[in-house]
Chain A
Amino acid sequence: MAKKQLYYEDVEVGSEVTPLAKVATTQMLVKWAGASGDFNPLHYEDSFAQAMMVGTPIVHGALKRAWLGHLMTDWIGEEGVLKKLSCQYRGMDYPRKMATMYTPHDGETWWCKGKVTDKRVEAGEHIVECEIWVENGKGEKTTPGKATVVLPSKKRRG
């Protein structure tokens, strides 16, 4: 989104990755299933979710992983490069139900967050390592992960 570019010199160990809010809804899960090709009934069928012992349909882990991708690409900007992204699906998340065609019921908001754990220059690349996670409405990290990015430097490299 043609916004200000983040540079290697702008971040330090401990710097915060700009948080990103997300609201999982049953509608979003339907869209995700269609767009990603994951048609596991665990994410839309009550009786199946119950049989799998998760209660009711849960948010796709891969959707939360995609949120973390969004978190990172927004933060690093167009000149930044995402090299690695990983996460673990530790906790179940349950989508908000829809109240109207376009709006969900009140409820939980998830936050994608992160912080810088290391920065270094390696083979001319300005590398930044981050710890990232998706946090549920109770502040629990249901989806912890890591990301490695390369940022542009304000010092022109040779």
Chain B
Amino acid sequence: MTEGSMITDKISSLIGQLSEPIILKVEAGAITRYADAIGDLNPLYRDVEYARNSRYGEIICPPGFFGWPIKGGGVEMTMSKVVGAVAEAGLWRILDGGVEFEFYIPVRAGDTLTTYGQLIDAREKVGRSGRMLFLIIEQKYLNQNGDLVAVSRATLICS
């Protein structure tokens, strides 16, 4: 992969396409395990009674946790078409470059969320280790009432 654009026709054709929906179930136990993995002992993530008496009225998710996928596959499935197109373009090293989150509504235990992934940008850059392809993947999370709870934009660095 030295000549031509890293952004193949296949990659450009995926820009703007929504992935299949992914359904996520938000369970209290999964929230606590997630908080445990970070080492965050906040009672809002583990103590039902404490949480019920808080302004949230229920156990909530730490920022960035949206429950566990029960339909439509996990994180790696979200963008399988994109990852496939990237591999076809001869790029085999994919690193997580970073992420930005916008939070609108707290996610509570008992919620069922729906998310769609979307490749929103593909850009070629020259860095320290040569040419790299930067992909921006956006995910919108909606709750059972159809309200937008959060948006994430992740950067994948492919080389």
Contacts and interface: CB of A to CB of B under 8 A. Distances in A.
A22 interface: yes
A34 B33 contact: yes
A79 B55 contact: yes
Interface stretch (A11-19, A70-78, A98-106, A114-122): A70-78
Q: Which of B37, B65, B93, B155 has the most CB of A within 10 A?
A: B37
A66 B103 CA distance: 14
Interface residues of B, number: 34
Interface in A11-43: 22, 28, 31-32, 34-40
Contacts of A145: 98
Interface residues of A, number: 39
Contacts of A73: 40, 42, 62-63
B63 A85 contact: yes
A81 B34 CA distance: 20
Interface of A: 1-2, 22, 28, 31-32, 34-40, 52-53, 60-63, 65-67, 69-70, 72-74, 78-79, 81-89, 145
13 contacts: A22-B39, A31-B36, A61-B97, A62-B96, A66-B62, A73-B62, A78-B44, A78-B55, A84-B102, A85-B63, A86-B100, A87-B100, A89-B98
